[in-house]
């Protein structure tokens, strides 16, 4: 697992899966209430725990935010939570319901699109992510202080990812969102309009390089 300091207070953790030619990214945003963005799967989470502990030292992890219910986004939640039991999972209502159905009875912070999570050092604005089976609603997040869009599976790149940020065109990225990513034409259009209105400076992809736009 690679560890890259992207900004003074933002770490990226990355694992390449050669079999599917895809990297898997998780992020740690520091501050008085550190937040982990995605847990990785179980194997990734075990490595992640050691890295987070080394970075945080005596500080506690406050939140574990994940965009939707899938192995690479929240499969490692049990492992991360067992090591940071005070950390509250932050997710959509559907994700919390799914996880409770699998026996994860944590103190979830359930957020809806249009709501936010604000601390002194960051503000995560949540956006609807209608991308899962049954068009289940997940949550994308825009960090308003640094203008970082956490794109999850929405804006991604296959293949080996560069260790340094890659330049991209924000509006082209939005236009490139495919029906495979958001199947409903109406939901895709609404999402594209919502994203186009955001003053995004960075895209923290779930898979691929970190983008500057």
Q: DSSP state, 50? A: H
Q: Of the two residues 66 and 122, which places its CB atom closer to Fe ion in the complex?
A: 66
Q: Residue 103 Cβ, how far from Fe ion at the closest point, in Å?
A: 21
Q: Is 137 near Fe ion (CB under 5 A)?
A: no
Q: Of the two residues 62 and 95, which places its CB atom closer to Fe ion in the complex?
A: 95
Give CA–CA dist 77/70, Å, rounded.
11
Interacting residue with Fe ion among 125, 137, 153, 173 (CB under 5 A)? 153
Q: Residue 155 Cβ, how far from Fe ion at the closest point, in Å?
A: 11
Nearest to 90 by CA among 114, 62, 70: 62
Q: Residue 102 Cβ, how far from Fe ion at the closest point, in Å?
A: 16
Q: Residue 51 Cβ, how far from Fe ion at the closest point, in Å?
A: 19
Supply 71's token pair: 């192995």
- Would you say how long the chain is, in residues? 213
**Which residue's structure tokens are 């699998």?**
102
Q: Of the two residues 41 and 62, which places its CB atom closer to Fe ion in the complex?
A: 41
Site string for Fe ion, 46-85 (x = CB under 5 A): ------------------------x-x-------------
Q: Residue 120 Cβ, how far from Fe ion at the closest point, in Å?
A: 30
Site string for Fe ion, 178-207 (x = CB under 5 A): ----------------------------x-
Site for Fe ion in 108-127 (CB under 5 A): none
Which residue lies nearest Fe ion, judged by its C-beta? 70
Structure-derived torsion over alpha carbons of residues 198, 200, 205, 209, reported in degrees to the nearest 10: 150
Nearest to 213 by CA among 146, 120, 152, 115: 146
Q: DSSP state, 76? A: T
Q: Of the two residues 32 and 43, which places its CB atom closer to Fe ion in the complex?
A: 43
Give the chain's largest Cα–Cα span: 47
Q: Residue 73 Cβ, how far from Fe ion at the closest point, in Å?
A: 5
Residue 180, SS3 per DSSP: coil
Nearest to 118 by CA among 35, 39, 53: 35
Q: Work out whether strand 22-29 and strand 10-17 pair parallel, antiparallel, or are unpaired.
A: antiparallel
- Chain residues that interact with Fe ion, rule: CB under 5 A: 70, 72, 153, 206
């Amino acid at each position: 697992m690679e560890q890259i300091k992207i900004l003074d207070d933002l770490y990226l953790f990355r694992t390449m899966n050669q079999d599917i030619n895809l990297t898997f990214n998780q992020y740690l945003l520091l501050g008085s209430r550190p937040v982990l963005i995605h847990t990785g799967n179980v194997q990734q989470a075990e490595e992640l725990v050691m890295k987070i502990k080394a970075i945080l030292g005596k500080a506690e992890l406050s939140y574990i935010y994940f965009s939707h219910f899938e192995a690479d986004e929240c499969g490692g939640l049990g492992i991360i939570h067992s090591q940071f039991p005070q950390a509250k999972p932050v997710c959509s209502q559907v994700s919390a319901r799914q996880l409770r159905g699998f026996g994860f009875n944590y103190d979830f912070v359930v957020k809806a699109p249009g709501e936010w999570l604000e601390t002194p050092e960051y503000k995560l604005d949540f956006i609807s992510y209608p991308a899962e089976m049954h068009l289940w609603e997940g949550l994308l997040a825009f960090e308003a202080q640094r203008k970082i869009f956490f794109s999850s599976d929405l804006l991604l790149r296959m293949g080996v990812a560069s260790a340094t940020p890659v330049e991209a065109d924000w509006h082209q990225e939005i236009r490139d969102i495919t029906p495979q990513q958001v199947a409903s034409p109406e939901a895709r259009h609404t999402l594209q309009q919502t994203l186009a209105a955001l003053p995004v400076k960075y895209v923290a992809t779930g898979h691929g390089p970190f983008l500057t736009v």
